[in-house]
Structure 1
Amino acid sequence: MSSPPSKVPVLFLGATGYLGGAFLSHILTTEFFREKLEITVLVRSPEKAHRLESEYKVKACIGSLEDTDEVEQLAEQAHVVCSLANADHIDMTRAILRGLKKRHERLQDRPVVMHTSGTGVLIDPRYILGNHITEDIYSDLDVEKLAAIPPQAIHRPIDLLFLDADKEGYIRLVLVLPSLVYGTPSGVLSQTGIANKHSSGIPGLIRAAIERKRAGLIGAGQAIWNHVHVDDLVDLYALIATKLLTEPDKVGLGREGYYFAENGEYLHYDLTMAISKALFELGAVESEEPVRFLTEEDVQAGALKERYLGASGTNSRARAERGRLLGWTPKKNIEDLWASIKPEAESIIQEMRGSA
């Protein structure tokens, strides 16, 4: 049975991941989106593909981001691409853009890409030793400052490919840049085991600490990042998507399409100690005192081998002004971040013991 012609064809990448699953859950359980959108997902698991099709009535194609021919073909069929699978996958990005360019040339429309990057792009590589709190704070309304982000910054090569395509005129780009995302998604896909319920940052630090028997910290932990709860981030995605469908002129695009996601800041020292205290209370580490990486040699030889520990010496400070002007009102604050750590640790300890 064909879908009503009024439905917008959407390619959704990252459907079974943490962020993608959380956002897709909202889409699939919201009548407005169910009526407006025709969703196609690309997933590796035949079992999850079957469940998504049978339980949620989406079209599920089996494949991975490495299947670039398939990604290109699916993108060509989509008026909207929601890219929540990988912020640094260059072959996937080029495949998406090849498909969308073909669509533009064939139909003369400008498909929309909603791509998830991250505020890691704001890291100043001069300060990686956890001994400097920068006063350099980025607003997502400061177009010129954002345009000057170095091309070699983390996530930036992919962001620039999408920005160049928007400038060329064959896509319209929304760039969502979350800070540290935490919390268990309330959406149905993570609750039923289809999507990942764990983020990467804090769980990565917890797993590494359990394996080392001590938490890790770069320097004195005197550096700052922002945070955002996953459900608040989903609200931002959903607000942007709603506005694109109802009031598209109100949504910034391209150079003016940056949307940071944050609701406050934390000090890396405080996060590390909160994780260490929770794990010590649970008997998963030998001491509350973290192992410290004090020199650049220590960081290069040890900390940077742990993807998420490497961030604890850096600053990434952002202000999500564009989303708030659009009407985004995040609800979870720093106290919710601290309250989430022990339950997250308990869950990960249980998982690690089960897989041992």
Structure 2
Amino acid sequence: MSASKTPVLFLGATGYVGGTFLSRVLADPSSSQARSHPLRPLRRQGQAARGGLPRCQDRDRDARGARQARTAVEQAHVVINFANADDVEMAKAILGGMKTRHAKLGVRPFVLHTTGTGVLVDFSRKLGNLITDDIYSDLDVDKLDTIPAEALHRPVDLLFLEADKEGYMRAIQVCPPMIYGKSEGILAKKGVTNTHSLQVPALIRDALIRKRVGIIGEGQGIWDNVHVEDLASLYGIILRRLVSSPASITHGRDGYFFAENGEHLWLDLSRRVAEALFALGAIESAELVKFETEERIGEFAKDEAYVFANGTNARSRADRARSQLGWAPTRTVEDLWASIKPEAEALIAEKGAN
């Protein structure tokens, strides 16, 4: 199958990460024809499907969405999934389409799935009073195999790993940590895609409600971070490999790719968010409010689910992406700190407009 005829399907391409990556595809000189059809990228290499993914509370729509996804997947040799990392039914639909394609054509299609380092969190230790020294490398597949089946994101990850083992498809899973920063792509500028990540905006939005920034316990937990544009560059490297030299990229147990370029202490992040919001006059004090019990943490997360992460640890190293793919991210934790004020200003403006 030549690179010029490789059909590629995007799922979740109007989201924060998907939209950032799709913008890169549209800006690629080799996809000049696609630029005149902004929601049909990779026109010469394949296709992108646009449409709402099913919501878990609507079973009829779930079933319709799954059937639509399965049909679309049957036509694609590469499926890039930026959608919900915990949607088991969608994962099964993707795999159903791949199995059908394999049976018809005798080929093993690829899924490039977006999971996350939430899979590394030990939720028995979420009170913000422990900095773990347990760090996962994506080259240590034996250690990755020990991640519990009930871990966050793990049920979907395991579906893809098992399907790869069965031999009818090839699974590549990108596992980013906390993502931050503004997308620089054309779709974000045109207002087509989501422009906000999860965790930093969650801290900001929650603080705008409470008028103080919260912290779980003492904020003693560490997560890795990556700028959204650096993450998009990793997807670009992988996609180029998949359509030009697919045998050069590992998959299955060896197809797990972490994507970090720095780490932060939750206490430091929360302090900087508080300082930025207080300087903007958006909260009453830069002093943090501590949430130190299970009950209080539940109260802390009632408005923004993603604030829970700041009592936990998730530490990874993107050794495979760097050594095997030559991924060279350029943004560091200093860029994370610099991103907080613009993010806060944007969210304050959005709140004022609603």
Question: What TM-score does the superposition give when structure 2 sets the normalisation length?
Answer: 0.91
Alignment of 1:101-250 (within 5 A): 101-250=99-248
2:266 to 265, 268, 293: 268
Retained in 2: the 8 A contact 1:27–1:34? Answer: no
1:52 to 39, 49, 53: 39
Structure 1 stretches of 4+ with a deviation exceeding 4 A read 56-61
Structure 1 position 296, deviation (Å): 2.4
The CA RMSD over aligned residues, in Å, is 2.1
Structure 1 position 276, deviation (Å): 0.7
Per mean C-alpha deviation after superposition, the further-off stretch among 193-202 and 132-141 is 193-202
* 1:108-166 deviation per Cα after TM superposition (whole angstroms, max 9, x unaligned): 10000000000010011221000000010000000010011000000000101111111
Q: Decide whether aligned partners of structure 1 residues 119 and 348 sit closer, same or farther in structure 2, where only a CA change above 3 A counts.
A: same
Structure 1 position 59, deviation (Å): 5.5
Q: Decide whether aligned partners of structure 1 residues 304 and 251 sit closer, same or farther in structure 2, where only a CA change above 3 A counts.
A: farther
Give 1:64's aligned residue: 53
Retained in 1: the 8 A contact 2:273–2:340? Answer: yes
Give 2:294's aligned residue: 296
> Structure 2: how far apart are the matches of 1:63 and 1:107?
29
Partner secondary structure for residue 308 of structure 1: helix
Letter of the aligned partner of 2:162 in structure 1?
D
Q: Decide whether aligned partners of structure 1 residues 59 and 135 sit closer, same or farther in structure 2, where only a CA change above 3 A counts.
A: closer
Structure 2: give runs of 5+ residues left out of the alignment. Answer: 55-61
> Structure 2: how far apart are the matches of 1:253 and 1:53?
27
Retained in 2: the 8 A contact 1:304–1:310? Answer: no
Partner secondary structure for residue 52 of structure 1: coil
Percent of matched pairs sharing the same residue: 52
Give 2:58's aligned residue: none
Give 2:17's aligned residue: 19
Alignment of 1:71-90 (within 5 A): 71-90=69-88
Structure 1 position 245, deviation (Å): 2.6
Q: Decide whether aligned partners of structure 1 residues 16 and 61 sit closer, same or farther in structure 2, where only a CA change above 3 A counts.
A: closer
Retained in 2: the 8 A contact 1:10–1:81? Answer: yes
Letter of the aligned partner of 1:131 in structure 2?
N
Give 2:321's aligned residue: 323
Give 2:90's aligned residue: 92
> Structure 1: how far apart are the matches of 2:3 and 2:141?
37
Give 2:57's aligned residue: none
> Structure 1: how far apart are the matches of 2:51 and 2:208?
35
> Structure 2: how far apart are the matches of 1:212 and 1:228?
28
Retained in 2: the 8 A contact 1:123–1:314? Answer: yes
Retained in 1: the 8 A contact 2:214–2:300? Answer: no
Partner secondary structure for residue 283 of structure 2: coil
Letter of the aligned partner of 1:338 in structure 2?
W
Retained in 2: the 8 A contact 1:122–1:317? Answer: yes
> Structure 2: how far apart are the matches of 1:9 and 1:340?
36
Partner secondary structure for residue 305 of structure 2: coil
Letter of the aligned partner of 1:330 in structure 2?
P
Structure 1 position 191, deviation (Å): 1.3
> Structure 2: how far apart are the matches of 1:264 and 1:238?
21
Give 1:351's aligned residue: 350
